[in-house]
Structure 1
Amino acid sequence: MTLKSGIFVIKSHEVGSRIDKFVLNHCKSLNFFSVQKLLRTGQIRVDGHRAKGFLRLELGNKVRIPHFHVSNKKIINKASSALSEKIINEQILYKDDDMMAINKPSGVSVQGGTKVI
């Protein structure tokens, strides 16, 4: 889903809000990390200037939020370790004492991390 950019004028009840919190309240489909990236890359602007995350909004400020793409990807639950081991063993191309070559399918991570199989 792609949304068009928008310009929001700060009203009296929004004065003093931080820019990141303001964007989160107006763009429910964005998460905190996405907003921080938009701020860091200078895509969110206040009165034509790049905004920093700590900026406090003032009455009449014009906030420009760019168009963005929201992915509909679903987080995949971790597979059982027995099944994962079986799948990996089927993909081994070469193995000796020093190295192993695996035919890694697309989408399977190489390194661990949060929300990674």
Structure 2
Amino acid sequence: MVVIDEDPVPNGQLVLKTHTMPRDTNADGDIYGGWLLSQMDIAGAIAAREIAKGRVTTVAVGSLAFLCPIPVGCAVSCYCEIVEIGRSSIKVLVDVWIKSDDDNLHKVTEGDFIYVAIDDHGRTRCLPKG
């Protein structure tokens, strides 16, 4: 039996919340996908940095599908869930939601981001134990 989630909720922990601004929009007043991607990368890096106990860099981003346009003035929330931890890499699922004028949450997109822990010289380093 397939169960359909009729009241979906964000996955993971709220890591970043910001508001969309007019400078981040296209000519129709919707937020650029690139702006949203950068916010997701920031959120994922914050989550990965906590695990790495230091500097990380983005090495890969999974596919994104934008489910709805984001108008200017929305509160955008990025939720992060650590999916996998390797020797030096951390895979983070970033789930993005907006709050509409009617106070309902709407999912906008999600994506897998992979980060690698690096040292002060930009070389890969092992993640700390535990």
Q: TM-score scaled to structure 1, two decimals? A: 0.33
Higher strand fraction: Structure 1 or Structure 2? 2
The structure having more radius of gyration, on CA atoms, is: 1
Q: TM-score scaled to structure 2, two decimals? A: 0.31
Higher helix fraction: Structure 1 or Structure 2? 1
